[in-house]
Homo-oligomer: A and B are copies of this chain.
Amino acid sequence: MTKEHDATLAATLNALREAIGDDAVRTGDAIGERSMTDYTRHAPMRPAALLLPRTTQEVARAMMICNDAHQSVVPQGGMTGLAGGAVPRATDIAIALDRMSGVEDIDVASATMSVLAGTTLQVAQDAAAQAGFELTLDLGARGSCQIGGNLATNAGGNRVIQSGTARDQVLGLEAVLATGAVLTSMSRVIKNNTGYDLKHLFIGSEGTLGIITRAVLKLHPQRASRHTALVALDGYDAAVNLLRSLARRFGNDIGAFEIMWPDFFDFGVSLTTEARSPFEHAHPLYALIEHASFDARDDGERFASALGDALDSRAIRDAVIAQSVADARALWAIRECTAEFPSRLDPVNFDVSLSIGEIGRFVDQCRAALDKKWPGNRSYFFGHIGDSNLHVTVDGHSVPGVEHHAIYAFVYAMLGPLNGSVSAEHGVGLLKREFLPISRSPEELAAMRAIKHALDPNGILNPGKLL
């Protein structure tokens, strides 16, 4: 940092203190660890300042000052991101909406909730539940992540097959542009064809186009009964056929369809309390399936009967149906072994998406290529295939001396010819920026840059991320 930059920064901070108050502008040690990096633990860095505005108007005033000073700003939510999208540089000013938290109202007639962006997902979920609804957005970090971050990254999570991603839950949005202009589109209506749908531009833009300050979210009726089964399959094509046949029979009452390849499944089983498979034999592929219906009197008989039919016609090899909540938890524990990845592995994580029909071939091809390139590598394949989303984790410990970056580059390069996406749900942030051209054409990137420049002409919002 030059002396000139120091002087400009000092003037900016003074203007900010005057505009939004001394206690809303933190510097130095007053900025806690949380503001320095996200769940990736990527290059922690103390930003030049941390702003803690209380209102949308304060966000707007702060942005106006930063824009005039060409001062870069990094919007931060719960810092649970997995792509480095909210990690600051030493010269950035971070802005966190922790003080803009809470559910503003729940409108039962329109089944909507108006919520401030700094509200944690769990607080919003609980408020919805208390009003007799379900906020269907759900992910592991629910206790820490914030609605603003969920929307800025278009979070995916556990219920996408049934209710879509974060984007699909949004009816209205308020965002502050880099210039300080406030776009208030807090619509509660389902149909609104009055010009460009600006909310979709901010959702998933990772803080590069505006700061989301409030949102109107859709609420869904609560599903009254849930039944879980673990199914053994001949292979990937059988999994897709089962998915389509269950969709024909149950529509979107199928609430989870999680595919686990044997390496992943065996690792998951080894970490459960009983440490043995619910099946007597090993199988080529496993699916964890949830049926969730609105009918409180649904005893799971229809779901069991569908699986029975599948067994009779050899569409599946075997099935275990949970008979209790404890049973269901034990089955889910296998899939949720991913929580142990950070402590047991040196995880190199991929979150890619591909056309559903191509995922099986990609897994075979990817595993063969990894084995050829790095014999002895340990890699785990699993995915929300109903959402076209595949996760791959390569254990860095199994390929000593190999840089993570080399593994990323190797796997992403295989995606390009298949029109795959380098980020299904985690976003691009810092970590995948260099790989973005694998999934986006030069024309698409040029259009994104034109839009970025139109809304943030000085380029102050989250520079170096995404684009």
Q: Which residue of B lies closest to A445 (CB)?
A: B195
Beta-carbon contact of A389 and B354 below 8 Å: no
- For A194, give the chain B residue with the smallest CB separation: B439
Asked if A447 meets B181 with Cβ closer than 8 Å, knowing A201-B200, A426-B193, A467-B195, the reply is yes
A-B contacts, 13 of them at CB < 8 A, read A107-B357, A109-B240, A188-B355, A189-B424, A190-B386, A191-B353, A191-B387, A192-B423, A195-B204, A200-B200, A201-B451, A248-B294, A249-B294
Q: How far is the CA of A420 from the CA of B423 in the complex (A)?
A: 37
Separation of A203 and B196 alpha carbons in the complex (Å): 8
Determine whether A104 belongs to the interface, using a CB cutoff of 8 Å to chain B.
no
A444 x B353 contact (CB < 8 A): no
Give the distance in Å from the alpha carbon of A181 to the alpha carbon of B201 in the complex: 20
Report yes or no: B443 in contact with A182, Cβ–Cβ below 8 A: yes
Q: Within 8 Å of chain B (Cβ to Cβ): is A270?
A: no
Report the copy number of this chain in the oligomer.
Answer: 2
Contact of A197 among B112, B167, B436 (CB under 8 A): B167
Q: Is B249's CB under 8 angstroms from A252's CB?
A: no
Judged by a CB distance under 8 angstroms, whether A154 is at the interface is: yes
Cα A35 to Cα B379 in complex, Å, equals 58
B193 touches A423 (CB 8 A): yes
Cα A9 to Cα B444 in complex, Å, equals 31
A109-B355, A196-B209 are known contacts. Are A189 and B455 too (CB-CB below 8 A)? Answer: no
Q: Does A395 contact B (CB under 8 A)?
A: no
Q: Which of B182, B250, B388, B428 contacts A190 (CB 8 A)?
A: B388
Interface flag for A356 (CB, 8 Å): yes
Q: CB within 8 Å of B: which of A393-433? A: 419-428, 432
The distance from the CB of A238 to the nearest CB of chain B, in whole angstroms, is 12
Task: Collect the chain B residues with CB atoms within 8 Å of residue A419's CB.
Answer: 186-188
Q: Which of A238-258 contact B (CB under 8 A)?
A: 240, 244, 247-253
Expressed in whole angstroms, the Cα–Cα distance for A424 and B441 within the complex equals 34
Q: Is A299 an interface residue (CB 8 A)?
A: no
A160 contacts partner chain B, Cβ-Cβ < 8 Å: yes
Given A244-B111, A441-B184; A191-B160 close (CB under 8 Å): yes
- A193's partner among B192, B200, B428, B445 (CB-CB below 8 A) is B428
Most buried by B among A153, A198, A240, A354: A198
A68 on the B face (CB < 8 A) = no
The residue among A177, A182, A194, A453 with the most chain B CB atoms within 10 A of its own CB is A194
A325 interface residue (CB < 8 Å to B)? no
